[in-house]
Structure 1
Amino acid sequence: MDEKEIIIIAAIAIPISLVIIVIVLFSVFARRKNRMLQEQEEAKKVFDRELAESQIEIREETLRNISWELHDNIGQLMTLAKIQAQMAQEKPEMMTEVSETIGTGIDELRALSKLINPEALKSLSLKEAVSLEIERFNRLKFIEAKLTINGSVMPIEANTQIILFRILQEFFSNTIKHSKASTLKVVLNYSEEELSITAEDNGVGFDKSDDFLGIGLKNMKTRAQLINSTLRIDSEEGKGTALTLKYKFV
C-alpha cells in the first residue's frame, strides 16, 4: 500500500471515527439525561407524596386537638358556668364567678378558632404555627413550654414550611404522649445561610440501642432529607430527648 492510498484511507477513516464518537457520546449523554429526568420525576413524586401525607397528618392532629378541647376543656368550663349560675340563684354574689368562667370559655373559643379554619392554617408561617402549638401547651397546662426566636425571620417556601412544621409536631406529640416531661424548650435560630431548630424536653428519654427509630422518628428523618435538611435526635434515659434540625436557605 503506497503513501497515497494510506492518506486516502486515513482521510475517510478519521471523519467516520469522529462521527461514531459523536454518536456514542450523544447516546451516552441522552441516556444520562433521561435517567436524570426520571430520577427528578421520581424525587418530585416522593416529595409530593410526603407533602400530602404531612398536610393530612397536620389536619388530623388539629382535628384531634379541637375535639379534645371542645369536649374536655371548653365543655367543662361551660358545665362549671351552668353549675355556678344555678348556685347564683340563691347566692347572687357568685355571678362574678359565673362571668369569669364564661369569659374564660370565650377566650378559649377564640384561641381555638385560629385552628378551625383550614385556610388560616395554610397561611400560617412556621413561626406562627409553632407559636400556636406552644401557646396551646401552656394554656392547657400539658407542659411548661417556651419558644425562643433568634435572628431575623427569613422567608421559606410554603411546602417546605409544612414539612418542617410536621417534623416538629411529631416531636411535640412524642414529648406530650410518651416522655413524661415537665418542660419543653424550642429555639428557631435564623441566620442568612440557614434555619437551625432545636427542641428539647426533660423527659424519661430512651436508649438508642433499643431500636429507638420508630415509625414516627423514621418519618421525621425521611422528611428532613426531602428538604435537604439534616436532622439529629439525641436521647439518654432519664435525661430527656433533643431534636436538632438544620435547613439551609441556599
Structure 2
Amino acid sequence: NGLLWLSTNKGIVVFDPQSEKIKATYDASDGLQNNEFNQNSYFKNSKGEMYFGGIGGFNFFDPDNIVDNSYAPPIIITDFKLFNRSVDVYSDLTVDEYSLEKSIFATRDIKLLYDHKVFSFEFSALNYIAPKKNEYAYMMEGFDKDWIYADRERSITYTNLEPGNYIFRVKGSNNNGVWNEAGTFINITIEPPWWKTWWAYSIYGLLFFSGILALVKIRERELKREIDTTRKIEAAKIEERINMRTKTSQDFHDEAGNKLTKINLFTTLAQNEASENSTLKEYLTKIQENTKELSSGMRDFLWVLDAGKDSLYDMLKRMEDFGNSMFESTETRFSVTGIDEKFKQLILPMEVRRSLILIFKEAINNSLKYSNSKNVFIIINFEKPFLEIKLVDDGSGFECNQKSEGYGLKNMKARAEKLNSTLEIFSAKAKGTQIKFRGNITQMGS
C-alpha cells in the first residue's frame, strides 16, 4: 500500500511517505515483544509477512491483516473535583457546601463561588481498543488561548481563575490517532465576591458621586463665606472712603469756603474805599476774580469728593448745569442731549469725573469767550463700552493747526490722553468749532 513499517526503540511505526505523516504506532501494549527493537533485525517473506527482532524475541505479522481503528470515540467528563475532592450529586457529603444537581457527564453548566479557587476535571475517550493510547487536548475558553495537548493525561486542575464566564472544552482520539474534534464542553460561571458585584459597584459609584457632591457643596459654602467676607470688607472699605471723602469735603467747605467768602467780602469793601485809586482798584478786581475762580474750582473739587455723585449721569448733569450757568445771561442758546437715566448705573472713578468736567468746562469757557456763537450744543452718545461727548458751536471758529493751539487746548488733550481716550478738534474760520471726546469707559481709570 506504499506504507513503510519501521522498527524503532519505541515500537513499530507505520509511516506514509506521501503525506510524510505517521499513520500508526504499535508498542508492547499491542502484543509486541518489547518496545525496543534491534538494528538490521528485520525480514519479509514471500507471503508478505514481516519479521522484526527485538530485545525480548521477535514479532511477525501480515500487514494486510492489521486493520486500523477509524472510530472517533465519544468524549465525556467523568469527574469534577473541588479542592481535590470529588463533588457528588445532591449529597450530604458536600465539598465546601457545594454539590451537583446531576451527574457531571450530563451537566452543561456549573456555577462556582469566588472562593472556589481550586477545581479539576477528569475526562475519557470511550475507545476500548488499546485505551492507553487514547490522547486528549483541552482548552478553557476565556483563559487558555489555544488547545493544550495532554497526550494520555486524563485530568486537568485550574487554580485562582478570576470571576467571570468560561467554557471548558475537551477532545480526544482513539489508539490510531482518530480525533473526535467536537469533543464535549461545560459552561462555567465563577461568581464575583459581593464587593465586586454590579450592585456593589453601583453603591460605590453612588457613594463616590455623593462624596464629590458633598465636597462641592462644602466648597461652595466656603467660597460663599469667603465672597461674603470679601464683600463685607470691601463694603466697609468703601464706606470708610465715602465717610472720609464726605468729612474731607465738609471740613474743606467749612474752612476754605468761609475764608474765600471773607476774602471776597473784604475785597468788595476795599474796592469801595479805593474808588479814587485806579491802580489799587484794578488789583482788588483781579483778587476778586481769582477768588471767584478759586471758589468755582473749590466747588468742582468738593463735587468730585461727594460720594453720592459718582455716576456718569451725575457728571453729565454737572456739565449741563455749568453750561446753563455760563450762558444764562447771554443770547447764546445752550443745550445738552443724550443724557440717559441708565447712566446712573455707570460708576466713574473720581479722577475720571474730574478730568471730564475740567475738559468740558474749558471747552465751554472757550466757546463763551471767543466763538460769538448763537448756539452751543453738547451731544452725548454711548455705545457700550465707548463714550462720546461732542461740543458743537456755530461761532467764528479758528484755523486748526498745531501752532494755533493754546495752553487750554493742549491741556484738554493731555487730560484726554491720561484717560486713555482721544480728543479731536475740528474748526475753521466762520464755520464753527467741534470738540469730540471718545474713550472706552472701562479703560478710562486704568
Structure 1's 249 and 121: CA in aligned 2 closer, same or farther, altered over 3 A?
A: closer
**Structure 1 residue 166: Cα displacement:** 0.4
**Structure 1 residue 186: Cα displacement:** 0.1
* CA–CA separation in structure 2 for the residues paired with 1:210 and 1:117: 30
> Once the two structures are superposed, what CA deviation does each residue of 1:59-82 show, in whole Å capped at 9, x if it has no partner?
9xxx9xxx8xxx9xxxxxxxxxxx
- Which protein is richer in helix relative to its size? 1
**Structure 1 residue 145: Cα displacement:** 0.2
Structure 1's 248 and 209: CA in aligned 2 closer, same or farther, altered over 3 A?
A: closer
Identify which of 399, 405, 416 aligns with 1:224.
416
Aligned partner letter, 1:126: M
Structure 1's 128 and 122: CA in aligned 2 closer, same or farther, altered over 3 A?
A: farther
Structure 1's 136 and 244: CA in aligned 2 closer, same or farther, altered over 3 A?
A: same
SS at match of 1:167: helix
> Once the two structures are superposed, what CA deviation does each residue of 1:7-49 show, in whole Å capped at 9, x if it has no partner?
xxxxxxxxxxxxxxxxxxxxxxxxxxxxxxxxxxxxxxxxxxx
Q: Indicate the residue corresponding to 1:131 in structure 2.
A: 320
Q: TM-score, normalised by structure 1?
A: 0.50
Q: Indicate the residue corresponding to 1:181 in structure 2.
A: 373
Q: Is the 8 A contact 1:234 1:243 kept in 2?
A: yes
Q: Is the 8 A contact 2:386 2:440 kept in 1?
A: yes
Q: Indicate the residue corresponding to 2:302 in structure 1.
A: 119
**Structure 1 residue 191: Cα displacement:** 2.6
Structure 1's 193 and 217: CA in aligned 2 closer, same or farther, altered over 3 A?
A: same
> Is it true that 1:208 corresponds to 2:391 in the alignment?
no
* CA–CA separation in structure 2 for the residues paired with 1:209 and 1:120: 35
> Once the two structures are superposed, what CA deviation does each residue of 1:123-159 show, in whole Å capped at 9, x if it has no partner?
3431121121132134323621010125531322121
SS at match of 1:231: strand
Q: Would you identify which runs of 4 or more consecutive aligned residues in structure 1 move more than 6 Å? A: none
Structure 1's 180 and 210: CA in aligned 2 closer, same or farther, altered over 3 A?
A: farther
* CA–CA separation in structure 2 for the residues paired with 1:179 and 1:117: 24
Q: Is the 8 A contact 1:126 1:161 kept in 2?
A: yes
Aligned partner letter, 2:334: A
Task: Please say which of residues 184-193 and 151-160 is displaced more in the overlay.
Answer: 151-160
What residue ranges of structure 2 are gaps of 5+ in the alignment?
1-255, 269-295
Structure 1's 182 and 230: CA in aligned 2 closer, same or farther, altered over 3 A?
A: same
> Once the two structures are superposed, what CA deviation does each residue of 1:99-120 show, in whole Å capped at 9, x if it has no partner?
xxxxxxxxxxxxxx9x969634
Structure 1's 192 and 214: CA in aligned 2 closer, same or farther, altered over 3 A?
A: same
Q: Is the 8 A contact 1:181 1:203 kept in 2?
A: yes
Q: Is the 8 A contact 2:316 2:339 kept in 1?
A: no
The structure, 1 or 2, with the larger RCO (C-alpha pairs under 8 Å, 6+ apart) is 1
* CA–CA separation in structure 2 for the residues paired with 1:209 and 1:192: 32
Structure 1's 174 and 247: CA in aligned 2 closer, same or farther, altered over 3 A?
A: same
> Is it true that 1:155 corresponds to 2:347 in the alignment?
yes
* CA–CA separation in structure 1 for the residues paired with 2:319 and 2:351: 15
Q: Indicate the residue corresponding to 2:437 in structure 1.
A: 245
**Structure 1 residue 216: Cα displacement:** 0.5
Aligned partner letter, 1:237: K
* CA–CA separation in structure 2 for the residues paired with 1:225 and 1:121: 20
Structure 1's 118 and 146: CA in aligned 2 closer, same or farther, altered over 3 A?
A: same
- Which protein is richer in strand relative to its size? 2
Q: Is the 8 A contact 1:137 1:144 kept in 2?
A: no
* CA–CA separation in structure 2 for the residues paired with 1:116 and 1:150: 22
1:181-200 equivalences in 2 (<5 Å):
181-200=373-392
* CA–CA separation in structure 2 for the residues paired with 1:192 and 1:209: 32
* CA–CA separation in structure 1 for the residues paired with 2:299 and 2:402: 39
SS at match of 2:396: coil
SS at match of 2:404: coil
> Is it true that 1:144 corresponds to 2:337 in the alignment?
no
Structure 1's 121 and 193: CA in aligned 2 closer, same or farther, altered over 3 A?
A: closer
Aligned residue-pair number: 142
Aligned partner letter, 2:419: I
Task: Please say which of residues 132-141 and 215-224 is displaced more in the overlay.
Answer: 132-141
Structure 1's 117 and 156: CA in aligned 2 closer, same or farther, altered over 3 A?
A: closer
* CA–CA separation in structure 2 for the residues paired with 1:142 and 1:121: 30
Larger Rg: 2
**Structure 1 residue 190: Cα displacement:** 2.1
* CA–CA separation in structure 2 for the residues paired with 1:131 and 1:117: 13
* CA–CA separation in structure 2 for the residues paired with 1:120 and 1:160: 13
* CA–CA separation in structure 2 for the residues paired with 1:208 and 1:245: 16
Structure 1's 117 and 148: CA in aligned 2 closer, same or farther, altered over 3 A?
A: closer
* CA–CA separation in structure 1 for the residues paired with 2:393 and 2:373: 6
Q: Is the 8 A contact 1:142 1:176 kept in 2?
A: no
